[in-house]
Amino acid sequence: MSEVAAVARSRRVCARAFSAVCAASVAATVLALEARPAAAIGYSANSDAEAPAPRKRGKRAKSAEAKPAAETVSLARPLFAVVSLGGQHISIYNHNGLVDRSVISTGVPGHPTPEGMFTILGRERFHRSNLYAGAPMPFMQRITWSGVAMHTGHVTGHPASHGCIRLPGAFAQKLWGMTRIGERVVIAPYDLSPTEIAHPALPTPKMRSATEASAAALADAGLRDGFADGGAAALIDPRRYAEQLRVKSAAEAAAAAKAATEAAAALNAKRLEAVRASAELKAAEAAEATARAKAEAAAKAADSVAAKRQEVATAKPELSTSDGASPAEAARAKADATLAEARTRLEAARTAYNASDAEHVEAVRRSREAAEAAAAAAKAEKDAQLRTAPISILVSKKNQRIYVRQGLTPIFEAPATVREPERPLGSHLYIATAAGGDGALKWSVLSMPPRIAEARASHKKRGMVEEQRSAAPLGAASSAADALDRIELSDEVRQKIADRLWLGGSMIISDQGPSSETSAVGTDLTVKFR
């Protein structure tokens, strides 16, 4: 019995030891997991990326992955977005009003989301951050090149990002299918609502009759039969005209490129012919020089033989002399004939070389002209392509200038006069949102609040802007209509704008100049308030 009891006690001791080891192992695992930062697991609350969803397995997961990531939504365009930093939501509008709205998370105090008037500059379905260790940013829509974008992220309903605008996953995917590059995004301290505006100073588009458009452009665009002759013909708006120009210029650019290629090939052939003619000329010159040297040597030999014969004849006249030609004379005659033939060949080679050289020079000229024509046609095609994009205008009181871009590319800038320059203009964004039957555009306007400085101070204190509109404004900024009244532009500038203006076109009137985000090609005219 004592042995049995001893064995039982031994087994109980082993069991306790095994349990202790297991408990220690589990505790170590738990502590290790608790010690790991969230970022190491693939998700961080401070990251501008949404936490990765767990993978689904089985047939359902496969069918879900087979669906497209984002579907294109058909809406009346253009769209524009208003981001409320105070309300922490984004609102999408078109001419008919509010399209959609979602809660968001913007930048924390150390990394604030900038206030201002921006543009969607680029889009990537799946992007990784260049600033934050490659953090995933699905459905990214860039609004600055300094690192601010709208994308899928962890949304808390209050500031939580490094400056980006985080969107809930489903809404980010939906927004991706709605928006386009070139559409406007306004980031304000609190919520703004667009209002319709009609004013005689707003730009108007140039409408063309069918007869004003190039017959070639109409034919290339397949629209010649679409217009009736006479006064009842439909007018062509700038966007439609731009499409015609794009088709026409693309055909002309292709033809010019083909002509340039053919001219370059012809030039290469003429260059080879010139090289061959030059080689033949050099060979003929060498042959002529050799023949001339031999003829001169043969002449000297013949003269020497003749002189000796003369000496013999003088010294011994009784000796008979042969009247036939000596071998030296025969060699001389042969050398002279060879020289004459070499000179004939040299003259022919020189004539051929001169002709080939002239043809080569002409081929160079034609190739250069064809290349210049191809470059001009390519430039015209690029300009025609730009014309299909919305036009962007900024009138700056600070710089007393107007800036015009299209397709994120500078078009022109010119002087602009702002009456009463000592009085604030404010900052107003006018967007051409719809067109009437006669081609007249309908406009919506968003005016930034005049209390930007107070809003900015509130931002610094709280990390967000609360909707406090009761405080007195900092200055009597102009209303949207008054700002238009104070702008003076030349007729030439207005005509240039009218030639390119259509739906989606926008104009900013502001006390400020273009922001630091506005640089070369690939950026738009934006105003940034901090």
Residue 53 lies in a domain: no
Domain boundary among 170, 188, 206: 188
Question: Which residue has better confidence, 170 or 66?
Answer: 170
Same domain, 356 and 409: no
Same domain, 358 and 274: yes
The per-residue pLDDT for 48 is 37
Q: What is the pLDDT of residues 122-145, one digit of tens each?
A: 998 887 776 666 677 789 999 998
Domain boundary among 324, 355, 382: 382
Answer whether the bond into residue 78 is a cis peptide, omega within 30°: yes
Residue 435 lies in a domain: yes
Same domain, 471 and 418: yes
Query: Domain holding 491: CATH number?
Result: 2.40.440
453 pLDDT higher than 80: no
Classify 112 as helix, strand or coil. coil
For the segment 422-451, the average pLDDT, to the nearest whole number, is 89
Largest CA distance in the chain: 170
Q: What is the pLDDT of residues 472-530, one digit of tens each?
A: 334 567 899 999 999 999 999 999 999 999 999 999 999 999 998 888 878 999 998 87
Q: What is the pLDDT of residues 341-394, one digit of tens each?
A: 999 999 999 999 999 999 999 999 999 999 999 999 999 998 899 999 999 999
Mean of the per-residue pLDDT values of the chain: 79
Residue 212 lies in a domain: no
8 A C-beta contact, residue 326 and residue 302: yes
Residue 170 lies in a domain: yes
Domain total in the chain: 4
20 pLDDT higher than 90: no
Those residues with Cβ within 8 angstroms of residue 72's Cβ, 6 or more apart along the chain or in another chain: 177
Percent of the chain whose pLDDT exceeds 90: 53
Same domain, 347 and 409: no
* Residue position matching structure tokens 């002509």: 259
The per-residue pLDDT for 44 is 31
Domain boundary among 148, 165, 188: 188
Query: Domain holding 118: CATH number?
Result: 2.40.440.10
> 288: domain range?
241-382
Positions marked catalytic = 151, 164
**Distance, CA of 233 to CA of 227 (rounded, Å):** 6
Quick one: tokens of 460? Answer: 């610094």
**Distance, CA of 160 to CA of 157 (rounded, Å):** 8
Q: What is the pLDDT of residues 174-233, one digit of tens each?
A: 999 999 999 999 999 989 999 999 999 999 999 988 777 554 354 444 444 443 344 445
Residue 229 lies in a domain: no
Same domain, 271 and 362: yes
| Sign of the torsion formed by the C-alpha atoms of 56, 61, 64 and 69 | positive
Same domain, 76 and 23: no
Query: Domain holding 327: CATH number?
Result: 1.10.287
